[in-house]
Amino acid sequence: MPRIHLCFVWHMHQPLYKDLATGQYRLPWTRMHALKDYYGMVKILEEFPDIHQTFNLVPSLVLQIAEYASGKAADPFLECATMPAQDLSEAQQEFALLYFFQANASRLIYRYPRYGELYDAWRKSGQNPQRARRVFSPRDIRDLQVLSQLAWFDEEFQDHDVEVQNLRAKERGYSLDDQAVMARKQIEIINRVLPVYKEFAGRGQIELSTSPFYHPILPLICDSNIAGVSHPYVPLPNRFAYPHDARWQLKSAREFIEREFGFAPAGLWPSEGSVSDETLAIAAEMGFEWAASDNAVLGQTLHKTAGPDLTYRSYLWKQQDRQIRMIFRDHFLSDLIGFVYSKMGAAEAAEHFLDRIRTNSQAEAGSGGDVLVPIILDGENAWEYYYLNGRPFLRELYSRISQSRDMAALTVSEALRADEPRVLDRIHPGSWINANFDVWIGAEEDNRAWEYLLRARQKYDEAAPGLSEDDRRLAHEELMIAEGSDWCWWYGPEHQSDNRREFDQLYREHLSGVYRALKLQPPEELARSILTAEDHNKHDPPASFIHPVIDGEVTSYFEWMGAGHFRVDTRSGAMHGERAVVRDLYYGVDKSNLYLRMDFDRTAAFTGMELRTEKKIISLLDNPDVELAKRKILEVRVPFSVVEASIDQVIKFHIALANDGIPLDVVPAEGWIEVLCGESAEHA
């Protein structure tokens, strides 16, 4: 009986947040994800011995985890979380307020009532740390110190560790002793991360693959002009072409994983799935046996749409005397896990996922052969959007696969041994995002970053030969870090983050470190931000009653004047999922009704639309008491009676769109929009 071989590859990555000059970690995300994701993602497989998977560990991540585990990491965020609240300076209080609410509101913050209470107070302050500091007491700050860390603890410890359970049960009024327990448990959890990978790899249930050491976009490191092949006429900076650096990044990564885990990895996830003929040749030369990318790259390579018939199989890339096996991820299914299933119930999502795979595999399985289905995605960032960190979903998924007769979850190497490859004599240069490199090069900020990197690289070539070995090694390490993909991920128009300034500053610090190690003065340009645009204020509250005509048209300029206006950030977040469907949400009230208007960035096809409040979920498309019209825009009138709201009551709501049961968009993505009903709203 033909079987479907599921190849899950979980990519575990964080950039190097450590400032080599000061030794301090400039952002805490390696530690936070080490608490919440890296251990539990492997440990859960103990419940499902038949589930085999591949975990991709980036060396720069492993380095940081090891330093945290040893207790040597200098992390001002953890230091601020463990200091006595009453001893914090005003600057430290503002630091805590600014950073300790950087978590998913619905899944992490509101999971803890006291944390949610503090978050509401932070929002009421306008998220202004100077203003908030005047209303947050030392008791409030101490509760924030503990809960902002506890919220990131892995479900394994939330469920089974008595000390962690006691911290959760206390809920508020934490003490300095509680802070000490919280800090100690962090070190305990992080110390379990790398051993669990060694254990499960040793027993053969997981395979470890890796990426270039500091996660650079290898095709651009080899030759930045290749971006013009995948996207003709894209504006490019002066050419950066250092294939020797690409060799170093790959060779060092493979040797590092071998030292840390006792064996050299067979597999490679090139950073962001970025490939080219030159980089695959280098990877093969370095000893890698397989590599992976995205099926959009496969489609461009074959000049066809890469459906299941092309995606659900393996390939052998071969040029001259170099060859390497390849798989190409099912982009759509991987993104369902990364960005969509968090909005669905665990059983519903798992069933939809496996049904979709079976449907896609029918033609190939019907021909009598096994089917290889590559599912490759970020193994950390998605879970903070899921209920209970995604563990119910994963248990549902793994249980159904374990019990199925037609499916098996294999490591990539296991699946490749059972699959006959098709030969590729070339590869389209591109990444998992649109099969090009536009996220990292071409925009004004990106190109400036590449120009600065090129000048530092050239200066290294000039000055390094005359330096001591230690200085030369330090300058080279700073350069290799600066070649990482994460800096340009945040430059340009594609992505948003509360930490864009910190990423920009850290990138420039690494480049400055090159010059300092070379005994040179860093150029003045590195003292100025590369960022050219700051995020705009995206929410204006209502100013007065509104009385729109519900016809799906902008009847007059004045129709929605006075309405609240929420501008959806149409850039992607950290994971680069689908862009938002809704561009703008207008809302307001009169004495009896709530009014909603949505403007769309593109043609919006949806079969479900819900108004979700704290009290109930209201289906808007089939409710006879709701007036709705969709033409150029969508306009809705919802009587207060439907919302079960009374005069002078605040409604908290968001809007959810779905298409055939698959969630499309939620506005706002986090938190609620609040509007005051009735007479007082006219003067609010």
Work out the widest C-alpha separation in the chain, in whole angstroms: 80
pLDDT score recorded for residue 574: 46
Determine how many CB atoms are found less than 10 A away from the CB of residue 494.
Answer: 18
Token representation of residue 491: 């430059």
Let me know whether 563 and 672 are in one domain: yes
Residue 565 pairs in a beta bridge with 540, 586
Nearest one of 377, 375, 376, 364 to 419, comparing CA atoms = 364
For residue 72, the SS3 value is: coil
Let me know whether 501 and 618 are in one domain: no
* CATH number of the CATH domain containing 557: 2.60.40
Token representation of residue 293: 């990318």
Answer yes or no: are the C-beta atoms of 456 and 479 closer than 8 Å.
yes
Buried residues in 194-207 as b, exposed as e (16+ CB within 10 A): bebbeebbeeebbb
The parts of the chain modelled with pLDDT lower than 50 are: 536, 573-575, 683-684
Q: Indicate whether 354 belongs to any domain.
A: no
Domain total of the chain: 3
Let me know whether 258 and 279 are in one domain: yes
pLDDT score recorded for residue 475: 98
Gap between the Cα atoms of 444 and 462, Å rounded: 27
Let me know whether 515 and 554 are in one domain: no
Reported as a single tens digit per residue, the pLDDT across 202-219 is 999 999 999 999 999 999
Gap between the Cα atoms of 4 and 8, Å rounded: 12
pLDDT score recorded for residue 580: 63
Q: Which of 264, 299, 330 is the last residue of a domain?
A: 330
Q: H or E stretch including 657?
A: strand 650-659
pLDDT score recorded for residue 497: 83
Token representation of residue 540: 């204006």
Let me know whether 546 and 659 are in one domain: yes
Q: Which residues lie below 8 Å from residue 256, measured CB to CB, with a gap of 6+?
A: 59, 62, 210, 213
Let me know whether 638 and 502 are in one domain: no
- 444-463 vs 469-482: helix axis angle to the nearest 10? 160
Let me know whether 615 and 513 are in one domain: no
Answer yes or no: are the C-beta atoms of 578 and 339 closer than 8 Å.
yes
Q: Indicate whether 159 belongs to any domain.
A: no
Answer yes or no: are the C-beta atoms of 14 and 60 closer than 8 Å.
yes
Gap between the Cα atoms of 581 and 573, Å rounded: 14
Determine how many CB atoms are found less than 10 A away from the CB of residue 319.
Answer: 16
Q: Which residues constitute the domain of residue 280?
A: 207-330
Let me know whether 544 and 501 are in one domain: no
* Phi-psi label, residue 284: left if phi above 0, alpha if psi -120 to 50, beta otherwise: alpha
* CATH number of the CATH domain containing 515: 1.20.1430.10
Across 405-509, the runs of DSSP E, i.e. the strands, are: 407-409, 422-424
**What is the pTM assigned to this prediction?**
0.89
- Name the CA dihedral angle for 57, 62, 65, 67, rounded to a multiple of 10 degrees: 180
- Residue type present at position 564: G
Token representation of residue 522: 């860093």
Reported as a single tens digit per residue, the pLDDT across 239-276 is 999 999 999 999 999 999 999 999 999 999 999 999 99
Let me know whether 308 and 217 are in one domain: yes
Q: Indicate whether 223 belongs to any domain.
A: yes
Q: H or E stretch including 81?
A: helix 76-82
pLDDT score recorded for residue 679: 55
Q: H or E stretch including 331?
A: helix 331-335
Q: Indicate whether 338 belongs to any domain.
A: no
pLDDT score recorded for residue 671: 72
Q: Indicate whether 157 belongs to any domain.
A: no
For residue 373, the SS3 value is: strand
pLDDT score recorded for residue 441: 97
Let me know whether 479 and 507 are in one domain: yes
Let me know whether 500 and 582 are in one domain: no
Q: Indicate whether 140 belongs to any domain.
A: no
pLDDT score recorded for residue 191: 98
How far apart are the two ends of the chain, measured CA to CA in Å? 68
pLDDT score recorded for residue 167: 97
Let me know whether 509 and 546 are in one domain: no
Reported as a single tens digit per residue, the pLDDT across 117-171 is 999 999 999 999 999 999 999 999 999 999 999 999 999 999 999 999 999 999 9
For residue 350, the SS3 value is: helix
Q: Indicate whether 383 belongs to any domain.
A: no
Gap between the Cα atoms of 492 and 530, Å rounded: 10
**How big is the CA angle at 346 (ends 343 and 349), to the nearest 5 degrees?**
70
Give the DSSP per-residue string, 278-340: HHHHHHHHTT--EEEEEHHHHHHHHTS---HHHHSS-EEEEETTEEEEEEEE-HHHHHIIIII
For residue 599, the SS3 value is: strand
Long-range CB contacts for residues 419-422, cutoff 8 Å, separation at least 24: 419/5, 419/313, 419/314, 419/370, 419/372, 420/314, 421/313, 421/314, 421/315, 421/316, 421/325, 421/326, 422/313, 422/314, 422/315, 422/316
Q: Which of 471, 504, 527 is the last residue of a domain?
A: 527
Q: Indicate whether 345 belongs to any domain.
A: no
Residue 430 pairs in a beta bridge with 275
Q: Which of 527, 551, 583 is the last residue of a domain?
A: 527
* Cα Rg of the chain (Å, integer): 26
For residue 454, the SS3 value is: helix
